[in-house]
Structure formats: C-alpha cells, structure tokens
Amino acid sequence: MDVPKGEEYLPGYTQEDLITLYRKEKDSKAKIRLLAAIYRKEGLTYMEIGQRIKYSSMTIKDWLHRMHKEGIHRRYNKKKPGRPKKLTDEQLENLKKTF
C-alpha cells in the first residue's frame, strides 16, 4: 500500500501540528520520523525525503506507512521485551534497605 501525500497523509494533523510535535520532541529517532512526516505532508516522494534526511526510501516508506496506519504515536519504537528480572520485587526492596 502506498502512503498518501499532502493533506491526505495523517488527515487528523495539519503541517503546523506536525511541526509543533517536532519542536517539542526529545527522542531523536522520533524527531527524524516526524520530519519525514512533515516532508510527506508537503507532498515529497520517499526518495526526496530519503535524500534530505539521509535514510533509504524503503525505511522512509516503512515509517510513514506505520504512522499513517497505526497513528502518530508510532513515531516511537515499540518496547522490546528483555530478559526477566532475576530478583523479585520483595528482594529488590530488601536490597534497597540494605544500602
């Protein structure tokens, strides 16, 4: 599926909304993805966006598709599960008391 350009991209957000989110964003990866969304809202192609922000057009397409389909919150990476804790909450509390 191709991601729409211009006003059809992220229809719930104006370009000004995206710029405001971009300026307030602290996460560097999310900021780059928002910049790609701003450029798409301007009507640029994946290739043009990729050349401007130095990422492949396929990566740009993946980001933009994910944000358009799942929502603007997908500018963030999903949390990946890590190794389970070795200590229980009770053991951690006891350890805190010791120190």
| pLDDT at residue 17, rounded to an integer | 96
Rg of the chain on CA atoms, in Å: 19
pLDDT (tens, 9 = 90+) of the chain, 99 residues, equals 688 999 999 999 999 999 999 999 999 999 999 999 999 999 999 999 999 999 999 999 999 999 999 999 888 888 778 888 888 888 888 888 887
Sequence-ordered alpha helix ranges (H) in the chain? 15-24, 28-41, 46-53, 57-70, 89-98
50 close to 39: Cβ distance less than 8 angstroms: no
Please state, in angstroms and rounded to a whole number, the distance separating the CA atoms of residues 95 and 46: 52
Say if 56 falls within a structural domain.
Answer: yes
> Residue 7: enclosing H or E segment and its boundaries?
none
Residue 82 forms part of a structural domain: no
Is 83 inside a domain boundary?
A: no
Has residue 88 been placed in a domain? no
Is residue 28 domain-resident? yes
Residue range(s) defining the domain that contains residue 26? 6-75
What's the pLDDT score for residue 38? 97
Q: Are 3 and 64 in contact (CB under 8 A)?
A: yes
Whether 92 is in a domain gets the answer: no
pLDDT score at 1: 63
H-type alpha helices, 42-82: 46-53, 57-70
pLDDT, position 22: 96
Query: How many domains does the chain contain in total?
Result: 1
Q: State the virtual CA torsion across 37, 40, 46, 50 in degrees, nearest 10.
A: -50
